[in-house]
Amino acid sequence: MQSTKSEASKKWGLRIHVLWYVLANVGQVFTWYYATPEQFFWPLWSIVGWGVGLAFHAWAINRTPHRA
């Protein structure tokens, strides 16, 4: 199945995804550090969970297309 999006727009979308991943998770780590540093490192769950989604996004963009 071919996508109608250009390669440049796909890579731009991945960059935006990475930017929001970093900003959101840095914000969560700062919140954890200043609010509950003695508690379990709860940002781990979103870092890992969202990281899996980001890895699949990067894989889908960078894989070589299968030619029939």
Q: Average pLDDT of 3-26? A: 91
Tell me the pLDDT tens digit for each residue of 39-63: 999 999 999 999 999 999 999 998 8
For residue 13, the surrounding DSSP H or E stretch is helix 7-35
- CA angle (13, 43, 36) in 5-degree steps: 145
Tell me the pLDDT tens digit for each residue of 21-36: 999 999 999 999 999 9
